[in-house]
Structure 1
């Protein structure tokens, strides 16, 4: 009996070893390559480009905060066994960086989207670090798609021609989105193109479409910071001086701080929710990158339009 048990155990180990795979071996789905993506915004883009050529695992759940979300040990292990790991970079995935560094040190193929775009720096008052929120500019997302197409073409088991078709189709979608945003924002009087949000997330959109970033309730580029009373007073003064009619609160963060600005400092403005750093569940208004950007464009245009 022990002989048969040992043989069975050995056979089981062989099966498990064959299923486990490793970098370049297609992960856990046999010969199907596995792509692991950190944020759900990038996860959606990767799925659109790669189609059925790979199994895509997105670590960040809908409606999560990319600055603070965490992953399980099992999910962390996926990073080391993936054929390609796609991350945002530029300091966005603060709670995930140690896992990404470990995967890179172990030899995993990495595509850091923030390294293939032209980054903008925060102002000197924010330390001058690079802004990680590049997806608010669809033109920079074209750069990400270009780099993704190139990386995927080198992954064993992926049909480069199929990926090229997917990338071309998605670039067309991004071009259409860019045109829609340009037209919608052109209708806003330049004097009213002023943005105030929970934290600094719209620098790329402002740069691309001619907006002024008046300020943010949370200082810096991370939601993990907190405003002081002096920060709120300074922002209130800036809002009054700029005549801002609307403050935009992010869907991944309650508008509690925005309301605190209005209640405690006495600024009276409308508060409009935007989808900025995370996609939503299906049916909640922003379950893809394209729908998210179109929803935000409409809400910004409506929030800053001339009163009728």
Structure 2
């Protein structure tokens, strides 16, 4: 039994506790494990894909919250610091994360390994309106490119993230890549139920160019004639799109589930043809139970919605 007075023992215990709290992250005072490697991912779609590849081999920090707009979401000072101290930063690129890319660039200049996925999967260029010729960052609507991205992410993790089991990462990337391949085959099967002359898309903005190219759709037009939701349509744009919809006999307008669909409903009202307004999960995942918590779930949901909107007589 200690012979120290109770107040001295309490003081000593308090000092020890304070030191432990201050240094726990460095010394493991409370028996915690040493810091694990961290992969920081900008968008939640890439975050889901990266988590499937990394598994338990490292911590994956996703910056973009569910239902957020990748064109406008930002990061806190603490998250910016995480970017610059990561073992690897995975980002979409090609201008998608407009408020975050400067932090990614700062990390790159500090010699943090970074991976711009969109630029690595043979990006397409926009083909219409004011965006023509510019690279399109929305590659994830094409599962074939996502499968390629899975392998690229796996290679980057194995190369740059110290302490991971490279064999495990490779196996996880292979397994998930097969699931993405199966998704692509299922999507084609479902889209084949839509007549060729009925595969016409009108969306909020230019986001489905890759899907259109892969599965033989025609993007007739967009409510916002741009590759970003930060732009706005003019009265002339709206009139031109209304005319296009009437001539093409479009059956549905597809709007992002996280974006207001007021403009799409205005088009529906002004158009002389009957047009359905159907929500899609185009640029962000949702919380669990909300229809698109994972990339695979998002694409299956969108496929069913597109078929429902266009396959009907």
TM-score (norm. length: structure 2): 0.89
Contact 1:275 1:286 in 2 (8 A): yes
- Equivalent residue for 1:104? 108
1:9 Cα offset (Å)? 12
- Equivalent residue for 1:275? 281
> 1:247-267 deviations in whole A, cap 9, x for unaligned?
001012121111122235556
Query: Does 266-275 or 126-135 show the bigger shift?
Result: 266-275
1:134 Cα offset (Å)? 0.3
Please, which of 267, 286, 307 is the counterpart of residue 292 of structure 2?
286
> 1:153-210 deviations in whole A, cap 9, x for unaligned?
1211100010011001101101110110010111110000000000010000000000
Residues 133-144 of structure 1 correspond to what in structure 2 (within 5 A)? Answer: 133-144=138-149
Residues 163-242 of structure 1 correspond to what in structure 2 (within 5 A)? Answer: 163-242=169-248
Please, which of 33, 36, 40 is the counterpart of residue 37 of structure 2?
33
Q: Is 1:57 aligned to 2:65, yes or no?
A: no
Contact 1:236 1:267 in 2 (8 A): no
Contact 2:268 2:276 in 1 (8 A): no
Contact 1:193 1:212 in 2 (8 A): yes
Q: Distance in 2 between matches of 1:10 and 1:60?
A: 34
TM-score (norm. length: structure 1): 0.90
1:72 Cα offset (Å)? 0.6
- Equivalent residue for 1:117? 121
Residues 10-89 of structure 1 correspond to what in structure 2 (within 5 A)? Answer: 15=23, 18=26, 30-89=34-93
Contact 1:206 1:212 in 2 (8 A): yes
State how many pairs are aligned.
Answer: 296
State which structure, 1 or 2, has the greater radius of gyration over its C-alpha atoms: 2
Q: Distance in 1 between matches of 2:58 and 2:201?
A: 39
Contact 2:139 2:146 in 1 (8 A): yes
Please, which of 98, 109, 113 is the counterpart of residue 94 of structure 1?
98
Structure 1, unaligned runs of 5 or more: 20-27
